[in-house]
Amino acid sequence: MENMTASSGVEKLLSVRNVYKSFGLNAVLKGISLDLAPGEVLALIGGNGAGKSTLMKIIMGIYSHDSGEIFVDGKEMTVGKPAEALAHGVYMVPQEPLLFPNMTVEENILIGFDRPRAELRRELVERMDNLGWHIALERKASSLSIAEQQLVEILRGLLRHAKVLILDEPTSALTFKEVESLFKCVEDLKSQGIGIIYITHRLNEVFEIATTVAIMRDGVITLDGPVSDFTRDDLVCGLLPTDSCQRKTQVVSKVDYSKPPVFELRNFSGYGFTDISLKVYPGEILGLAGVVGAGRTEMAMTIFGRDKVLGGNVILDGKDITGLKTADVIKAGLNYVPEDRHADGLFKISDVACNTTSALLSNPKMGRFFLNRKEEKKVTQQYVDDFRIKVTGQDQLTGSLSGGNQQKIVIGRSLSTAPKLVILDEPTRGIDAAARGDVYSIIHQLRDQGVSILLISSDMEEIVELSDRAMSIYLGRVNCEFAKEDVNQDNLTSAAFGLIRKEEEKA
Ligand code: ADP
Ligand code: MG
């Protein structure tokens, strides 16, 4: 789009001026300004916690800002009114699409309009034809891939005549082919003059589809301008802390590397990850760095018997446990605390006691099928005390606990199976600082008891803080390994963004 270079304020679809936002004492946005013109694809990049999602939620009117202004099409928006943002044509496709699974594609797109259905349907079909998109309107949403669900979300936005479309890390859950078709969609939308804010973790994507780029770090924009003005190295500089001073960490690891590893992956492959080899030693915390979507969760789920193994082996304590059913994997001594504890980890309807002890049911020492209520109470109380889980009583429903306390319960539950290795997937995502401290001490406690830990985290600070050693996964493959003394934020960030590769290291 040639006209995107025009910089007069009137031509802007969206203009954010000097926006500040704090949550309590945490200053999350410190004077953000950015513009978006028709046909512009602005890549917004930055590490976890930089403030990207907060800024988008403010633009969407979901959060209110403390000061600053937001203009859409030259009109200033009232603070904190989602309906107004929609009416002005700003639409966000969330990272996890929110469709009604039992409704059809058409019903999902057309829900919530008060215009005649036939008219809407005509407009929808016309739009899809114009864009050359094909998706059967009568399909059930539950049968759609994530990529297709995103298309449905985008169509929802287009029917609302969105002029500004926000895509929050749209490719993090997509396969390679799906990414290609999403890029084509973005190109189509761009040619129709829609402005797009494209949040991503992947630097390569910036050069592939964006016209402009902005890097956010710690609530400020550290670099912005046309993509053609920058090299990859420029972008990396914007991502890394300015003083580049690496936090001194305890460099001596207590792990005895002369012992045989307790856990090993040999050329392990599955959906979303390829040819992964790694070892975890007794009492070791191995950090697995990477960005969301790097393939780590898929790998963990496959180890845990939830997905198909496509190649290689999983060895636990000398035993080959490749492809075993989940219950047998747990029995063998491996447990997994999933990232999405709301969906996978907790049975919301159960109370605290049931939750902490449900994993015991598969512990052979405790009897497989039956646990009496008294025993269950005792075990639960021990975990509640050990982990400072704040509950009003053992009967409190887990769903009503805070995120941090839910997480402590899930980790507690996994421990009750006396595992040799625990895989923790993003153990502190979305929980507050105090609870995070508690979770860290639980992890240390575990390690001190000789349990080995595979720590999946997209929070580089967390990996630096906890790991004895770290590896990085990039696009489903191991691309780097760091000994304790090299586990620092710079190294991990560069590796997670795919900027250091094994070959380059060797060269
Ligand atoms: P990003 O999307 O770049 O990863 P976020 O905008 O999600 O970053 O988060 C930026 C900071 O704001 C983080 O420190 C996060 O903990 C904090 N934060 C985000 N949402 C809330 C909230 N609703 N309440 C309190 N703190 C929040
Ligand atoms: Mg975010």
Distance, first Cα to last Cα, the chain? 41
- Model pTM greater than 0.75? no
**How far is it between the farthest Cα atoms of the chain?**
73
- Establish whether residue 428 lines the binding site of ligand 1, counting it when its CB lies within 6 angstroms of any ligand atom: no
488 CA from centroid of ligand 1 (Å):
22
- Establish whether residue 221 lines the binding site of ligand 1, counting it when its CB lies within 6 angstroms of any ligand atom: no
- Establish whether residue 156 lines the binding site of ligand 1, counting it when its CB lies within 6 angstroms of any ligand atom: no
What angle, rounded to 10 degrees, do the helices at 146-159 and 117-131 form?
A: 120
Task: Look at 50-59, 142-151, 419-428, 471-480 and tell me which has the smallest mean pLDDT.
Answer: 142-151
Structure-model confidence comparison of residues 263 and 371, the more confident one: 263
Neighbours of 109 (CB within 10 A): 29
- Establish whether residue 151 lines the binding site of ligand 1, counting it when its CB lies within 6 angstroms of any ligand atom: no
Residue to substitute in 23, 200, 460 for testing ligand 1 pocket (most ligand atoms within 8 angstroms of CB): 23
pLDDT-derived band at 263 (thresholds 50, 70, 90) equals very high
Task: Look at 21-30, 277-286, 340-349 and tell me which has the smallest mean pLDDT.
Answer: 340-349
Atom 11 in ligand 1: residue holding the nearest Cα: 49
Antiparallel, parallel or unpaired: β 421-425 and 14-23: unpaired
231-246, pLDDT tens digit by residue?
887 887 777 765 443 3
Q: Can you give the pLDDT at residue 1? A: 37
- Mean pLDDT, residues 179-194 taken together: 86
CB 424 within 8 A of CB 454: yes
The answer for 417, left when phi > 0, alpha when psi is -120 to 50, beta otherwise, is alpha
- Establish whether residue 50 lines the binding site of ligand 1, counting it when its CB lies within 6 angstroms of any ligand atom: yes
Question: Length of the chain in residues, anyone?
Answer: 507
Q: Can you give the pLDDT at residue 248? A: 32
- At residue 492, φ and ψ (nearest 5 deg) are -65, -40
Q: Can you give the pLDDT at residue 460? A: 86
Q: In 192-281, which ranges are continuous DSSP H helix?
A: 203-209, 232-239
- Mean pLDDT, residues 378-403 taken together: 57
Atom 12 in ligand 1: residue holding the nearest Cα: 28
- Establish whether residue 28 lines the binding site of ligand 1, counting it when its CB lies within 6 angstroms of any ligand atom: yes
Mean pLDDT of the chain: 80
100 CA from centroid of ligand 1 (Å):
27
92-145, pLDDT tens digit by residue?
987 777 889 899 999 999 988 888 899 999 999 988 887 777 889 999 998 888
Please give the structure tokens belonging to residue 168.
């929050």
Atom of ligand 1 nearest to the CA of 57: 6
Vertex 140: Cα angle to 134 and 143 (nearest 5): 80
- Establish whether residue 200 lines the binding site of ligand 1, counting it when its CB lies within 6 angstroms of any ligand atom: no
- Establish whether residue 95 lines the binding site of ligand 1, counting it when its CB lies within 6 angstroms of any ligand atom: no
Please give the structure tokens belonging to residue 221.
């924009």
